[in-house]
Amino acid sequence: MTALMSLHALLGLALLLMVPALALVGIGGFFRPLPPWFYAFLRGVAWVAILQVALGFALFLAGFRPKEGLHLLYGLLLAAGLHYLGGLEPGGWFYRGLKDPPKRPELFVALGLLFCVGLVLRVYLTGR
């Protein structure tokens, strides 16, 4: 179980570094389209968050509890938010599924990533 806890902590630290970095680059979406490599990296970070959530719930079921129960909710919201933001790439799975897709999805991605920065900070601070 110590290995799972260490991996959970390591992935959390990686997310704490990668999500703000993505948001900094994503701010450029207010002014111009974001490059395809950005969305690929965003989807990769989303999968890291999904793995983080799966490990967190495995630890929860094994009897390890976070300091605050909201830690689980914040982590789940972060993983879901990153997953949907990664799908907003023009031609992406979420973009294609929208009835009226936005002409400039980069604006929503930039705003969503700023929200995700707040979520990743809340996840980190409620889990310690």
> What's the confidence (pLDDT) of residue 47?
97
Q: What is the mean pLDDT of the chain?
A: 94
In the predicted model, is pLDDT for residue 128 greater than 90? no
Cβ distance 113 to 26 under 8 Å? yes
Rounded to 5°, the CA angle 52-58-62 comes to: 140
> What's the confidence (pLDDT) of residue 8?
93
Q: What is the reported pTM?
A: 0.93
> What's the confidence (pLDDT) of residue 99?
94
> What's the confidence (pLDDT) of residue 34?
94
Q: How many CB atoms lie within 10 A of CB 42?
A: 26
> What's the confidence (pLDDT) of residue 106?
94
Radius of gyration of the chain (CA): 15
How many structural domains comprise the chain?
1
Which amino acid is it at 111? L
Q: What is the per-residue pLDDT across 45-90, written as a single tens digit (0 to 9) for each?
A: 999 999 999 999 999 999 998 889 899 999 999 999 999 999 999 9
Q: What's the average model confidence in pLDDT over 17-40?
A: 95
In the predicted model, is pLDDT for residue 111 greater than 90? yes
- 121 is in which domain, residue-wise? 2-127
| Cα–Cα dist 23/43, whole Å | 13
Q: Which residue has the tokens 């490599």?
A: 37
> What's the confidence (pLDDT) of residue 127?
82
In the predicted model, is pLDDT for residue 36 greater than 90? yes
| pLDDT > 70: percent of the chain | 99
| Cα–Cα dist 39/45, whole Å | 10
